[in-house]
Every structure is written in C-alpha cells, then in structure tokens.
C-alpha cells in the first residue's frame, strides 16, 4: 500500500510569479519520496539500508528558498528539451528558432526559465501524484503549445515516472528528471565507493562545450565501457577521467528494459534504472563545488552525487542520424522510467 499526503511547502516570491508550492509525500514500507509542485522536484527520497534504517539519498534543500535560488537542477523535471542544444538553434519545417543561451554558447535544460522553475498543477492519485502544465507557444523560444503531464507512482520499492506530452505545432521534446543521488546518504563526501553499471555498447563523444560531435562511438576498450560493474573512484583514476557528463546510447526499443545500476557496497543500497528512453546521461556532479548549503547544512562538493538521466540524445534536433526528438500534432510523447531501490 502507498500512502499519499500533501502539505504546503512554501510561497513563491512575487517576482517569480507568487503561488503556493505544495509537497507531496509518497510512502510505502520500503520507500518515502517527497515531491514538490515546483518543477516536479524530488526533494527527498528515503530508502532502507542493510540494517533497515531509512536514509535520504537525494541532494536538495530543506526549504523552498534553496530551490528558488540558482541551483544545478536538483531533483527537477527539465524541459521542454533536456540537455544541450548547440548554439541554442534549430531549424524546423523551414523555420529557424533561437533559444536562450544559458550554458556557455548553448541552451541547456529548457533555457532561462525551464520546466524546473515553474509551478505545476497537481492531482493526487491513489498511489502517487500527477502534475500538469501548459507550456505556451513561444515559451523559451520553442514553437507551439505543449501540454505536459508528469506522473509519479510508488509501488513498494519502485518509483515510476511517466512523461506525456501533446503539441499544437511540431516541436522538439525530451523530458527527464535531474535527481542527484548518493546512496551513502545525501551530504556524504563523494561517490567514489559506488559501483556503476550502464547497459550500453556505445556513447556520444562531446566537444569542449559538451555538445555531441555526431560520432556514435563504441565503448569497447575505453573508460566508457560500464557494461560490467566498476568502482567509480578507481575507474576514474585508471582512465584519467575528470568525471562523466555523457550520453550513453541505449537499445532503440520503445519497451521497458534494464539500463543502469548504482550500488553502494558498504550499506548494501542499490538503485536500478529501467526505461523506454533511447539514452541515459550519466553525470558525476563535476560542477558541484561545495558552495551550496543543502539539507541538514550539508555541503555538496565535486563528485558528491551522480545523475542517471533517461532522455533523448543531446542536440538530437540538429543531428538527423540521432533518434528523433520531434513531436507533431496528433502524436503523443510518452515515456516512462522506473527506479527500483533495494538493500542487500
């Protein structure tokens, strides 16, 4: 049985549109998830360790104020297009579109005020919560009205996130959740003792602004071969990597499949990722620098969390040989990601 409760979490500042932010708590015997109506943010996720004690394993803030200031998309749903679009530009049906540049020369995670920074309309379900918003034509430079539904449901130790969207005009769409995990517990110093597995035979090399070069490269014989579990800290050292911020190319089937696992041997905590999406961005918190005060006054230094963001491939709107990110009128964008938590 899943218990769902709601409470007021805070009030948005007037200069950000005002409005009440609610927090929804989804609770089962093995998992407790707190989700905000601001940005559909996963603000806390408490899971059991080997000894049965609950620990919060996602980075974030204790109060709304933290989330209304600049932060690296902690726990949020990002869109209209997750990840980077080169120079914030794309052509569609003969027309050029220019987006806001918020990541060096590129547009990242929907622009200046993406889906992470807006209030969504919630509807409580027996085992979860569904958030809705209408992204109006021209928002952040994107064409067409886009209706979006993000549904979180909790069943035992499995959290499912379903994304649906419908467009009035052709538009690129790629949605993901940007939760930062540390299975040792949020506020732990690093993730070097985590074991990571990603079920991908290829990945996308990137240029110095993190835009894919267009090559789809084999992981074989490289530091990107994560098909067998690797201990992250030792692996980064062995391959002289500063961290990961790369898209791994998944099997191109629109069915649920296992794509990644993170495991923390000292506590026995593990998280499996299953998805219908064509890609997964593995990010090791390279840009965290300890400057943000998080939950319980924790600081979040570099490599103190990881993200496994299921999504379409970055810059796909400009790369015809990548899986298409275009949604046209009469079609429906519909993807689900399942996170399974365990302790052994």
Q: Does the pLDDT value for residue 254 go beyond 90?
A: no
Other C-beta atoms closer than 10 Å to the C-beta of 263 total: 20
Is 103 annotated in some ligand binding site? no
Provide the mean pLDDT of the chain: 97
Q: Does the pLDDT value for residue 245 go beyond 90?
A: yes
Could you tell me what percent of the chain has a pLDDT over 70? 100
Is 83 annotated in some ligand binding site? yes
Residues 6+ apart with CB under 8 A from 212: 204, 205, 206, 247, 313, 314, 315, 319, 322
Is 84 annotated in some ligand binding site? yes
Whether the CB-CB separation of 301 and 325 falls below 8 Å is answered with no
Q: What residue ranges define each of the domains in the chain, with the CATH number in brackets?
A: 3-343 (2.70.98.10)
- What was the pLDDT predicted at 3? 98
Q: Does the pLDDT value for residue 253 go beyond 90?
A: no
Cα gap 12→16, rounded to integer Å: 6
User: Can you tell me whether residue 234 is helix, strand or coil?
Assistant: helix
Q: Does the pLDDT value for residue 89 go beyond 90?
A: yes
Average pLDDT over residues 149-160: 98
Is 245 annotated in some ligand binding site? yes
Is 179 annotated in some ligand binding site? yes
Cα gap 62→234, rounded to integer Å: 33
Lowest model confidence (mean pLDDT) among 47-51, 171-175, 304-308: 47-51
- What was the pLDDT predicted at 142? 97
- What was the pLDDT predicted at 282? 98
Specify whether 309 is catalytic. Answer: yes
- What was the pLDDT predicted at 189? 97
Alpha helices in the chain (DSSP H): 64-68, 232-238
β-bridge mates for residue 152, sequence order: 129, 161
Encode pLDDT of 320-335 as tens digits: 999 999 999 999 999 9
Choice among 109, 195, 309, 335 that is catalytic? 309
Average pLDDT over residues 243-252: 96
H/E run at residue 280:
strand 279-283
DSSP secondary-structure letter at 313?
P
Is 180 annotated in some ligand binding site? yes
pTM of the full structure: 0.97
Whether the CB-CB separation of 223 and 238 falls below 8 Å is answered with yes
Choice among 109, 178, 194, 335 that is catalytic? 178
Q: Does the pLDDT value for residue 114 go beyond 90?
A: yes
Specify whether 178 is catalytic. Answer: yes
User: Can you tell me whether residue 11 is helix, strand or coil?
Assistant: strand
Could you please report the per-residue DSSP string of 115-168? GGGSB-EEEEETTEEEEEEEE-TTGGG--S-EEEEEEEEEETTEEEEEEEEEES
């Amino acid at each position: 049985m899943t218990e769902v409760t709601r409470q007021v979490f805070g009030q948005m500042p007037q200069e950000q549109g005002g409005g009440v932010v609610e927090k929804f708590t989804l609770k089962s015997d093995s998992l407790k998830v707190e989700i905000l109506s601001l940005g559909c943010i996963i603000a806390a996720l408490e899971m059991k360790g080997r000894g049965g004690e609950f620990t919060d394993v996602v980075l974030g803030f204790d109060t709304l104020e933290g989330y209304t200031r600049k932060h690296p998309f902690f726990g949020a749903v990002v869109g209209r297009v997750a990840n980077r679009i080169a120079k914030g530009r794309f052509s569609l049906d003969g027309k050029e579109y220019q987006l806001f540049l918020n990541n060096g020369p590129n547009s990242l995670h929907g622009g200046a005020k993406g889906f992470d920074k807006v209030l969504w309309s919630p509807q409580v379900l027996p085992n979860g919560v569904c958030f809705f918003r209408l992204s109006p034509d021209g928002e952040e430079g994107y064409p067409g009205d886009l209706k979006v539904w993000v549904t979180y449901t909790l069943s035992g130790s499995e959290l499912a996130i379903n994304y649906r969207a419908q467009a009035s005009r052709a538009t690129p769409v790629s949605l993901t959740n940007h939760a930062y995990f540390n299975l040792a517990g949020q506020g732990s110093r690093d993730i070097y003792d985590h074991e990571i597995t990603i079920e991908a035979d290829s990945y996308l090399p990137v240029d110095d602004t993190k835009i894919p070069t267009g090559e789809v490269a084999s992981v074989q014989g490289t530091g990107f071969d994560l098909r067998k579990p690797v201990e992250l800290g030792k692996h980064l050292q062995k391959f002289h990597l500063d961290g990961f911020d790369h898209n791994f190319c998944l099997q191109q089937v629109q069915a649920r499949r296992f794509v990644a696992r993170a495991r923390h041997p000292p506590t026995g905590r593990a998280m499996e990722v299953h998805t219908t999406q064509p890609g997964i961005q593995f990010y090791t918190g390279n840009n965290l620098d300890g400057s943000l005060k998080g939950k319980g006054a924790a600081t979040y230094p570099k490599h103190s969390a990881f993200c496994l963001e299921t999504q379409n491939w970055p810059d796909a709107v400009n790369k015809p040989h990548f899986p298409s990110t275009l949604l046209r009128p009469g079609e429906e964008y519909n993807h689900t990601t399942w996170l399974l938590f365990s302790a052994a």
